[in-house]
Amino acid sequence: MFWTGELIARNAPVRRRVAPAPWEEPHIGKGVAAYLGLAIGDALGATVEFLTPNEIRHQHGVHREITGGGWLRLKAGKVTDDTTMSLALGESILASGGVDAKAAADAFNAWMRAKPVDIGNTVRRNLITYRQTGNPEAPASEHDAGNGAAMRTLPVALACYGQPPEKTILASRAQAHVTHHNEISDAACETLIFMVQDFLAGRDAAEVKRERADELVRRHPIFAYEKKRSENPSGYVVDTIHAVFQSLFDTNSFEDCMIDVVNRGGDADTTGAIVGMLAGARYGLEAIPKRWQKALEAATLAACEQQAMALLELARR
């Protein structure tokens, strides 16, 4: 004797399961939004990189459109190292089926050979050392606490989605230590990765703030971000995190968050990229202004979308 439910199930016509479109799975849509947010923040912020908030006010009023220019004289919609290093890392993860330090170092090395529009000093120095030694782990240095590893954490967050935290931490350090072997940088990278994953899983901002951002401050008080307003943040990862967390938690939409962070000036392409990935994951695709999606170079937009989906597919396997 079958239970009714079982009987119904047995006699039901065999319905082919239609796989949901990628966008219909919330975490995939949010993963794509995180990648677009990263690229949009980079492109938006590059215009005002290294300006002070005052200089931005004089030159732009409130900077809110992707117009290119800036010290790199970018074409509108072009991105910088923050996005292109992330894409290079993501490619290496997909090619090797996981996060691998040597594969990441080779990918960054090839990226540097292709003459990127910009490159950080620590990245350049440690990639040159890698060419000489073949060791994909840079020597530990208390000085290498720039934001260069934190700006490219997204592929790790996506590839490790749903994996145990210990494994995620190892993956984060494998990619980060190619250029930034530093405890403060590590703490920032790992926190950012867990925040992205939390938002993908649908956790709310108050929870993420308490359990990730405030927990980072508890372990490393130098990251205390609620003391004074961060303006003109430098490339020091602590300054970056102050600006990013203030903008993320003091605004209520993707657009407001991005405008808030880039108008603080300083390393604005990188604060824009990092908060863009967090805000994209938090608010999802529908929240990203269409005008910014259209302004982004089409090839970059497509690469970010495809890579986000491929990395989440890898994480599922």
Task: Choose which of 82, 137, 186, 297 interacts with Mg ion (CB under 5 A).
Answer: 82
Identify whether the C-beta of residue 196 lies closer than 8 Å to the C-beta of residue 277: yes
CB of 266 to Mg ion, least distance (A): 9
Of 211, 214, 233, 237, the residue nearest 224 (C-alpha) = 214
CB of 81 to Mg ion, least distance (A): 4
Query: Which of 73-81, 86-94, 179-187, 241-249 is the region at the interface with Mg ion (rule: CB under 5 A)?
Result: 73-81
CB of 274 to Mg ion, least distance (A): 10
Identify whether the C-beta of residue 295 lies closer than 8 Å to the C-beta of residue 43: yes
Query: Which of 89-97, 104-112, 268-276, 289-297 is the region at the interface with Mg ion (rule: CB under 5 A)?
Result: 268-276
CB of 83 to Mg ion, least distance (A): 8
What is the spatial distance between Cα 139 and Cα 14, in angstroms, rounded to a whole number?
59
In one-letter notation, the amino acid at residue 39 is A
What is the spatial distance between Cα 193 and Cα 290, in angstroms, rounded to a whole number?
26
Binding of Mg ion at residue 267 (CB under 5 A)?
A: yes
* Beta bridge partners of residue 69, listed in sequence order: 74
Of 45, 43, 41, the residue nearest 56 (C-alpha) = 45
Binding of Mg ion at residue 80 (CB under 5 A)?
A: yes
Binding of Mg ion at residue 86 (CB under 5 A)?
A: no
CB of 261 to Mg ion, least distance (A): 12
Query: Which of 97-105, 107-115, 246-254, 265-273 is the region at the interface with Mg ion (rule: CB under 5 A)?
Result: 265-273
Binding of Mg ion at residue 81 (CB under 5 A)?
A: yes
Binding of Mg ion at residue 239 (CB under 5 A)?
A: no
Please give the distance of CA 200 from its chain centroid, rounded to a whole number: 13
CB of 67 to Mg ion, least distance (A): 16
The Cβ of residue 254 has, within 10 Å, a number of other Cβ atoms equal to 27
Residue whose entry in the numeric block shows the structure tokens 């603080």: 264
Beta carbon nearer to Mg ion, 246 or 270: 270
Binding of Mg ion at residue 106 (CB under 5 A)?
A: no
What is the spatial distance between Cα 54 and Cα 48, in angstroms, rounded to a whole number?
11
Q: Looking only at residues 7 through 66 of this chain, which bind Mg ion when binding is defined by CB under 5 A?
A: none
Beta carbon nearer to Mg ion, 150 or 308: 150
Task: Choose which of 126, 182, 246, 270 interacts with Mg ion (CB under 5 A).
Answer: 270
- Both structure tokens of 186: 């590590």
* Beta bridge partners of residue 236, listed in sequence order: 146
Alpha helices (runs of H) in the chain, residue ranges in sequence order:
4-11, 26-46, 53-60, 81-96, 101-113, 121-133, 154-159, 165-176, 183-200, 205-208, 214-219, 237-250, 254-262, 268-283, 290-295, 298-316
Q: Which residue's C-beta sits nearest to Mg ion?
A: 80
Beta carbon nearer to Mg ion, 49 or 305: 49
CB of 164 to Mg ion, least distance (A): 32
Beta carbon nearer to Mg ion, 39 or 205: 39
Q: Looking only at residues 186 through 215 of this chain, which bind Mg ion when binding is defined by CB under 5 A?
A: none
Residues that bind Mg ion (CB under 5 A): 80-82, 118, 267, 269-270
